Amino acid sequence: MSTNYYAFGPFLSGDPNGEGLHIGQTAAGWRFLFRAHNSLGLTTLPGWEHFLRAADVTIRNEYGRDVTADEMIETMKETANGKGFPLRERFRHDDEHRYVTSGGHAFCRTEFF
């Protein structure tokens, strides 16, 4: 099972009546997969952290549950599941649509669900 997360606020693609700006996705057994938004400078974990902590940003998962910035950032940084087992990496090699930062965080430049 996977869960997608979205940001809402006064920024491009942050329409509160629409889907929002895709942050990324959790999936059982896998590390968080980030959605890169080059035009907004959201291409690293620190960039996303700064963006999500803005006072005018609301975070919501695809099931309509609001998530705090602290909860979201904790989820993005998780490397083990609730029982202490390591989460698998999404991918290891860069290509035209995806890359891994020096901190080991996987990003996708194109939309995914």
Which letter, b or e, does each residue of 57-90 get, where b requires 16 or more Cβ atoms within 10 Å of its Cβ?
bbbbbeeeeebebeebbebbeeeeeeeeeebeeb
Q: Rounded to 5, what percent of the chain is helix, strand, coil? A: 20, 35, 50
Does the reported pTM lie above 0.75? yes
Give the pLDDT confidence score for residue 10 in this predicted structure: 82
Give the pLDDT confidence score for residue 111 in this predicted structure: 81
DSSP 3-state of 62? coil
Q: Amino acid identity of 24? A: G
Question: One digit per residue, pLDDT tens: the chain, 113 residues?
Answer: 899 999 998 876 666 567 789 999 999 989 999 999 998 999 999 999 999 999 999 999 999 999 999 999 999 999 888 877 887 888 766 778 898 888 889 999 988 76
Give the pLDDT confidence score for residue 18 in this predicted structure: 72
